[in-house]
Chains A and B, each alone.
Chain A
């Protein structure tokens, strides 16, 4: 399983010279499975460059797994080149909502005044799936989706392939459901998604002193991200959903803080996600 990060910024794209090292595109991660299957996680602005790359590689079947439909996870879809290729089969998975079908919710982004072209007129062969409650398979991988603490229907994903496990929970505020440290894993939001994962890619948007004024916004402090990774016995934590107000130097301070909090017991030193980062999971 090969994981490539195409966008790791939270909330809003932040291009510019202050964000060059870690990137300004919003959430998008590619997971290439051993059998050639391509799974894409989220459709933030990072998906635009990924789409061009998939076209160059002549990938004609793509599974897009959306954690939720906040704009920073969806806004790139309209500029995803495979959407505009009639030969592409695009399977879009996302969290079910009690009221509105996934397709209809996504269609809002493909309608005036937000966009000139209706979703019905997209050339690609697009199908929509609510994430199942039980594990399911894509290609050679076993997947699981689980609801996590974040405003609106939001899931995290667990992908297992050939003995490796990757967990993706980019927008998550587990502390809102109680103190993480010392709580048994089955009572931690996202616990079953990230349990024992080789790599967990997790929300770490804030420094501790930024978090109190943002409680309930759906994101984690760096210490809560570390506490979560430890609570679920993850082997490695990749810090994700970088705050748009954090430049490269701020992010490196955040990484240092994560490493100081993590210590040396069990968890590998946490690392910042950055555009272009590749994680090979054996």
Chain B
């Protein structure tokens, strides 16, 4: 049977949920590929979804260079989305990152893994909090 490209239903529903939220939210698939962020997230991320397109994990992590609020490099293992992706647990952190438009923004991010079943990890949700 030919492989059919399609997002998991949980991701489809998460996208629709995000689309109706005023809270900035982004979504990755099970490999960490950035697949969606809502309109509320555009001012934080510094671009639109159409401009950004789907982006592999290494690429968007690399572009969004992050530092602590004390200007120290924030290692990957402390970044909430990476923790949710690799350790499959929720995480929260406040940090400064370089957005797609080149601006530096201080944000609080909460990320958590999405499981369709107990043993079926399908992606990550990251939510950006303002002050």
Q: Which residues of A contact B (CB under 8 A)?
A: 96, 98, 133, 135, 142-144, 146-149, 158, 160, 176-178, 185-189, 191-193, 195
Contact = CB atoms under 8 A, between A and B. Distances in A.
A186 B120 contact: no
Contact of A133 (B5, B12, B120): B120
A217 B88 CA distance: 32
Nearest to A143: B1
Contacts of A186: 5-7
Interface of B: 1, 4-10, 12-13, 15-16, 19, 116-118, 120
Contact of A149 (B4, B7, B8, B13): B13
B64 to A, nearest CB: 24
B121 to A, nearest CB: 12
Given A96-B117, A178-B19, 17 more contacts: A98-B117, A135-B1, A143-B1, A144-B4, A147-B116, A149-B9, A158-B1, A160-B1, A176-B16, A185-B6, A187-B15, A189-B12, A191-B4, A191-B6, A192-B6, A193-B4, A195-B4
Contacts of B19: 178
A158 B2 CA distance: 11
Contacts of B116: 147
A65 B82 CA distance: 39
Chain A's interface: helix, strand, loop or mixed, by majority? mixed
10 contacts: A133-B120, A160-B1, A177-B12, A177-B16, A178-B15, A185-B6, A186-B5, A191-B4, A193-B4, A195-B6
B11 to A, nearest CB: 8
Contacts of B1: 135, 142-144, 158, 160
A136 to B, nearest CB: 9
Contacts of A158: 1
Contacts of A146: 6, 9
B116 to A, nearest CB: 7
B6 A178 contact: no
Most chain B Cβ neighbours within 10 Å, of A135, A187, A188, A195? A187
B7 A187 contact: yes
Contacts of B15: 177-178, 187
Nearest to B13: A177
A2 B6 CA distance: 27
Contacts of B7: 186-187
B119 to A, nearest CB: 10
Contacts of A160: 1
Nearest to B5: A186
Contacts of B10: 147
